[in-house]
Structure 1
């Protein structure tokens, strides 16, 4: 009978210890230490209530903090301190409620149970701390450190923010990269309304910005004949290969600097920053997600040597398959490929839900650091997070400068600038701004997001 009572006492003490880990102060109140118990319980309730409120009521603010290295350090430290405090409370609670007389086996087993409880407390908080530190590493590795202070309101006096989005592709037979995908995202800083302007990679006779680049190519970019045809997608690598094109700019920055200036002249927009995604690295991101589901309307040739087909239908593509889904031009052309690339990016964005991201966070972080490059400064990220929250609930339109509107062999660059000016001046909710011959066959407005997509290639 005594052994049975002792067993019950051990079970009760362990239950109270577990309860104190879930709600600080429970064991203290049980043994009559009301002041300490109430104080611990009050602190715990305040911490939990503040955390839950922040998660549900202040998500944009939390996202802004989540891209600031200093706050990420703080989050990691707070997670570890919370774990240490909870472990301390649990151990002290067990000391208060454990039976006075225990056999040696019962003492060892109860100590082991408390140790396991402490491990269960530490593990999730250690994981949170690791996620915070990995996030900090991503932010500091991918985004630039700005020596000039960022204003409290960086959008003051600026109606729009224009960011150049690049998809870079390399090939075994050629050195360097080619920016085969070029899109300007023009975002209204007040409403978040966004227009995506797609530029074909094969625009010729591209006017170069004033300075050494125009001095070398006074009649438009000519590349390196007979080795290259002189297309827009060559400008980035050409600047990297010839430092005198952008004097005073270090290696790795010359390409994006000249391309931003060039695209600014083409579009008439002031492009301040760029984001470049390496397509090979993009395949790693998709693999880290576990693949991406898309609906393929027509079979697509897979591989450089036509190894097979990505057959029509709704299917989950691996990173390699998705890469060829966005890269292949066999039996199609650049403009259909541009449409597939937008479909692919849209699918990835939709399927990168919080559960998927958390499940593969470290793999995604590693792939992102290897695939993404940008000159967006770290200090600007909180403001961009705020702006992206407006974009999420705003109108997104897309416009491709492709034939028959634009003859890529002899482009009318003044027409491109006029079209852009007209589109940006039109109300965001007016679909007719995108109607007419400027849209390729098969383009429709996506009813859920206001975007224009290519119906003929995917859904």
Structure 2
């Protein structure tokens, strides 16, 4: 009977007296364990363990195929799915479980091989091959679990857990604040301010730049700051800090009036940010659903994580130095340049030899260049670096549950020419602003042109 079994089932009942047979069998088992984990146990060992390994492997393959197809068809949907906390928990648990299962299956496969019965010259090679595969596959699964964990932590640290908000008049209006906690400054203050208005269907974006020397600054109806400054912030030099500029609102509220916005922290914001939101709503006449704060001090890390940005530099700009160009460490030369994070940071910051309005325009250029770098492929290949940098640099109240939607919207935005509206001279006099005129300019910019009726 044993001879018959050996002939009919050579893997499960091999001729153990033949070293050639046992060597070939050993190679077959370790290769099968690689190609389809669990198959070695089904053929030569514990069938229950083998079936569990096969089912787990098939689930993994099916999931991988679905993800690959979706990456080709709709990559932003994949990004949106894996940006959710529950999905990342599931990935992490499955990856850890599969890593452990692979270790168990590989060690059991080595037991089934019975190396002592293989040719002495082949024993080390078979064992080494199995161990290398063990380290490679289980290590990859374990690394996937680490990535999922770091992504979950980074995303929950950046994005809000609140419910998503509907668009206003068909648009999402997002306040962008460039916070600068650079050398010689106490704390962080928003150094650049803009509102990006995005069509919720087409993705067409309009960037509205707001100068920090706008004075006075109105607040939106219902704002607690409107009650304190009914004529506008800075009217007749009325404010509670040294300089009554637009970005001083953030500082004043953070230092002296944080109780005006008791729910700010709970909503993944800050009192100063909420006051700035009320101010930019008053300036633009738009309802601002979300904000994004970028800390310029750590901004270079995000640019480096994205692989740099390409900018067409219009004029020579200093790197470092004071207003008299003392201490300049280098220059950004005119022409098309692919900048690393450090250079891009100074391209956005540099004030010497240019005006604040020039700097605002450069920051808008940089925002557009960074948006173009945020492709699904870039995020997928450099995710850990982007997540690590983003957690230190970016803060927002955009809900984590809306990441997929906004990723899809951003993909549409990338394919369209972004429109820019700068509320600066000569169109706007920051020292004597006409807000009816400004609101009209904003509405004209964000209202898509209607098709002319056919004759």
TM-score (norm 2): 0.79
CA distance in 1, matches of 2:102, 2:380: 24
Structure 1: tracts of 5 or more residues without a match: 431-459
For 1:362-421, what per-residue CA distance to the aligned partner results, in whole angstroms no more than 9, with x for missing partners?
443232212112222334434434544554555642222222111112111111111222
CA distance in 2, matches of 1:157, 1:201: 25
* Alignment partner, residue 267 of structure 1: 284
Q: Say if 2:375 and 2:411, in contact at 8 Å, map to a contact too.
A: no
- Equivalent of 1:21, from 24, 29, 34? 34
Q: Which has the larger radius of gyration?
A: 2
Say which SS state the counterpart of residue 331 (structure 2) adopts. strand
Structure 2: tracts of 5 or more residues without a match: 1-17
* Alignment partner, residue 232 of structure 2: 220
CA distance in 1, matches of 2:279, 2:30: 66
Equivalent positions of 1:375-414 (< 5 A) are 375-392=397-414, 396-414=418-436
Q: Say if 2:215 and 2:430, in contact at 8 Å, map to a contact too.
A: yes
Shift of 1:73: 0.8
- Equivalent of 2:255, from 214, 231, 241? 241
- Equivalent of 1:126, from 116, 128, 142? 142
Distance change in 2, residues 1:120/1:208 (3 Å): same
Distance change in 2, residues 1:46/1:198 (3 Å): same
When the two chains are superposed, the root-mean-square deviation of aligned CA atoms in Å is: 3.6
Q: Say if 1:260 and 1:272, in contact at 8 Å, map to a contact too.
A: no
Equivalent positions of 1:44-443 (< 5 A) are 44-45=57-58, 47-57=60-70, 59-98=75-114, 101-102=117-118, 107=123, 110-146=126-162, 150=163, 154-155=165-166, 159-209=170-220, 210=222, 212-222=224-234, 228-243=242-257, 246=260, 248-249=262-263, 253-289=270-306, 291-305=308-322, 306=325, 307=328, 308-351=330-373, 357=379, 361-392=383-414, 396-427=418-449
CA distance in 2, matches of 1:304, 1:123: 48
Say which SS state the counterpart of residue 117 (structure 2) adopts. coil
Q: Say if 2:203 and 2:412, in contact at 8 Å, map to a contact too.
A: yes
Say which SS state the counterpart of residue 186 (structure 2) adopts. strand
Shift of 1:429: 9.5
Distance change in 2, residues 1:85/1:35 (3 Å): closer
Equivalent residues, number = 421
Say which SS state the counterpart of residue 185 (structure 1) adopts. strand
Q: Say if 2:23 and 2:119, in contact at 8 Å, map to a contact too.
A: no
Q: Say if 2:250 and 2:276, in contact at 8 Å, map to a contact too.
A: yes
Shift of 1:175: 2.7
Distance change in 2, residues 1:240/1:224 (3 Å): farther
Distance change in 2, residues 1:93/1:273 (3 Å): same
Distance change in 2, residues 1:88/1:411 (3 Å): same
* Alignment partner, residue 447 of structure 1: none
Q: Say if 2:168 and 2:287, in contact at 8 Å, map to a contact too.
A: no
TM-score (norm 1): 0.79
